[in-house]
Amino acid sequence: MRLTKQVNQNRISILTLDDDPIITSTIQAYFQRSGYQVDIENDPYNAIDRIRNGNYDILLLDFLMSPICGDQVVEEIRKFNQDLFIILLTGHKSMAPPVKTIRQLDIQGYYEKNDRFDQLELLVESCVKSIRQMRTIQEYKSDLEKAYIQTIEILRHVVESRDKETKGHSERVAVLAKEIAQELLLSPEEVEMIHVAGLFHDVGKIGVPDSILLKNGPLTNDEYQKIKGHPAEGERIIISYAPFKEILCIVRGHHERYNGTGYPDGKAGEEICLGARIIAVADSFDAMMSNRTYRKGLGFDKTIEELEKGKNTQFDPKIVDVFMQLVSKKGRSNYEQLYDYSLI
C-alpha cells in the first residue's frame, strides 16, 4: 500500500459501517494491515452513538442500509460533529446520492464497491493528509495561544513586581470575584470567566510609567488621566487572544461606577457587564484592605463600611450584599488573614 506504517499510525482512527458484516470485516482487515485503528459497526444507530461518544477521524459507510440509509446517518452525525471525514460506499454509481446532497452533508467522497480497494485507499489517503494538515494547524494555533497567554502572564507579573505593595493583588481579586460569582449561582463557565478576568484586570497598567504608578503622593490631573487609561489598555492587550473575548468588557469596565461617573466609558447600572460589577467590588475591597505607599490599609471594619457607603454610587448594591453574605458565612478572619497588618 502507498502509506507507510509510520504515517498511518499517526493516531488515525476509522469506523466502518455497513449492514453486511462481511464488508465491514474485509475493510477492517485491509486497513489494519497498514496500521490504522479500524472499528466496525453493522447498526446505523449504534454507529451514530459511537461517533457521538468516541473519537473517530474517518467514517466509511454504506449508502443503502436498513433501517436508515447512509445519507440519513450522515445528516444525524453532522448535527453534532462537523469535523469527521466521511466516505460513502455504494453498490453502483447510479445508486449514489445526488452531488448536491453530498455537498450539503460535507461528504468527502464516495466509493463504488468492487473487489479491489485502490480507489477507497486513495480517498482515505486524501483524508489522512487533510487530517494531518488540520492537526498541524491546530497544534500551531495552540502553541501560539500558549505563547500569547504566557506573554500576558509575564506582563501581569511585571506590573505587580514594579510595586511590591500590590504583589498578589490580582490573585486575591480573582479569588474574591470567583467566590462572589459562585454565591450568585452563576454557571461554572461564567465563574471561571470572572476568575480569569480578575487575574488580568490590571494588565493595562504595564503602560503606566513608574513615576506615576509608584508616586508617593497625590496625582496631578494629567497623571490621573494616564492611570485612567489602564482599563482600555488592558482590553487592547488581550483583544487579540480569541478565548479572552468574553472578558474584554470586564477588563475594560472594572472601573466603571454604578452611578455612571466611572471610566473609561461612563456606563451606569446594568450597562456595566456583570463581571465588571463583581470585579469592582472585589478590587476595591482588596485595595482598601492593602497597605499602599500613600496610606495604610483601612482595616476590615472601615473597608466594609466604605463598601456599604458605595452602594448605588460606586457599586452595584446587589453585589455588595452578596459579598456581605459571604463574609457572614465565612467569617471576617477568612478575609483578614489575606492581609499583613503588621504596619498598621
Task: Write the Ramachandran bin of 299: left for phi over 0, alpha for psi from -120 to 50, otherwise beta.
Answer: left
Which of 129, 167, 178, 205 is catalytic? The answer is 205
How far is Cα 322 from Cα 187, in angstroms, rounded to an integer? 16
Instruction: Confirm whether 205 is a catalytic residue.
Output: yes
Three-class SS state of 53: helix
Residue 201 φ/ψ, nearest 5 degrees: -65, -30
| 225 within 8 A of 177, measured Cβ to Cβ | no
Cell of 207: 503602560
Three-class SS state of 115: coil
Geometric angle at alpha carbon 118, from 114 and 119, rounded to 5°: 80
Q: Which residues contact 64 (CB under 8 A, 6 or more apart)?
A: 70, 90, 91, 95
Q: Which residues contact 14 (CB under 8 A, 6 or more apart)?
A: 31, 36, 37, 38, 39, 56, 57, 58, 59, 60, 124
Cell of 36: 490504522
| C-alpha closest to that of 243 among 169, 146, 171, 155 | 146
How far is Cα 147 from Cα 145, in angstroms, rounded to an integer? 5
Active site residues: 205
